[in-house]
Amino acid sequence: MLLCDFHIHTTFSDGSLELRKTIDLFGQAGFDVIAITDHVVNGDNVMGKFARQFNLSIRGDNFDEYLQAIRMEAERACGKYGMLVIPGVEISKNYVSKEESAHLLLLDIKEFIPACMNYDEIFLEAKRQNTLTVACHPHHTPDMVNKDTLYLWNNRDKYAKYIDAWEIANRDDVFNVISLKKYPYVANSDFHKARHLYSWKTLLNCDKNVESVKNCIRHNKGVAITLFRN
């Protein structure tokens, strides 16, 4: 089975490692598939404006540079480690209220999608680009550093049909509510620092190419999770 992590941040947003070092870390650890998913933060409030001012968010004016950097590193990762690298972003709608906040991974993204768009527009554009959509850390987490993002879960009756998978585990947290609803699932590290490598991961029984990975997750057959430790 393919060892995968689909939620990884670099210095393109708020990660501590540069893209190249991140690729090498996962490649040397034996991963088969990863996705780089730096933040795209909404700019309609103070938090979002702060993130953009201090370059903690991908923006429309540097998205092409970001995508090109991932593609170049993906080619190197394939040749050096046999590792598949998928370009993605984390749409980050951050508000004071945790009930209004939501984070959504878009995997295999081709064109910039601003976080200030409403959810219907984001899902429509994601479908047009054939991206894989993953609701990340969708429920309560004991980690007070990461503020809860509950909007998608609280509105799942409306949006679940647009979400390809939900994070059933994020770093060291497990969200049992996802399994109770029998939603398609993945497990990720929400990688920001080197030590986050050791966390929950996804195992996929499929071919090592982008379309096979997306289809495996969407159909949720041959999907398992594992706690990756040193």
| pLDDT tens profile 109-122 | 999 999 999 999 99
CA of residue 3 relative to chain centroid, distance: 15
Task: Please give the pLDDT value at position 21.
Answer: 98
pLDDT tens for 112-150 read 999 999 999 999 999 999 999 999 999 988 764 557 899
CA of residue 212 relative to chain centroid, distance: 18
158: exposed, middle or buried (Cβ count in 10 Å: 0-12, 13-18, 19+): exposed
Q: What number of helices (H) and strands (E) belong to the chain?
A: 8, 10
Claim: this prediction has a pTM higher than 0.85:
yes
78/141: higher pLDDT: 78
* 80, 111 Cβ separation under 8 angstroms: no
Q: Which of 60-64, 66-70, 141-145, 209-213 shows the lowest per-residue confidence on average (mean pLDDT)?
A: 141-145
Which of 24, 1, 145 is CA-nearest to residue 10?
24
| Total Cβ atoms within 10 A of residue 175 | 22
Distance CA 8, CA 189 (A): 7
Which of 71, 76, 75, 90 is CA-nearest to residue 152?
90
Report the CATH architecture of 2-227.
Alpha-Beta Barrel (3.20)
Task: Please give the pLDDT value at position 143.
Answer: 65
Distance CA 32, CA 132 (A): 18
pLDDT tens for 157-184 read 999 999 999 999 999 999 999 999 999 9
* 38, 66 Cβ separation under 8 angstroms: yes
Task: Please give the pLDDT value at position 147.
Answer: 75
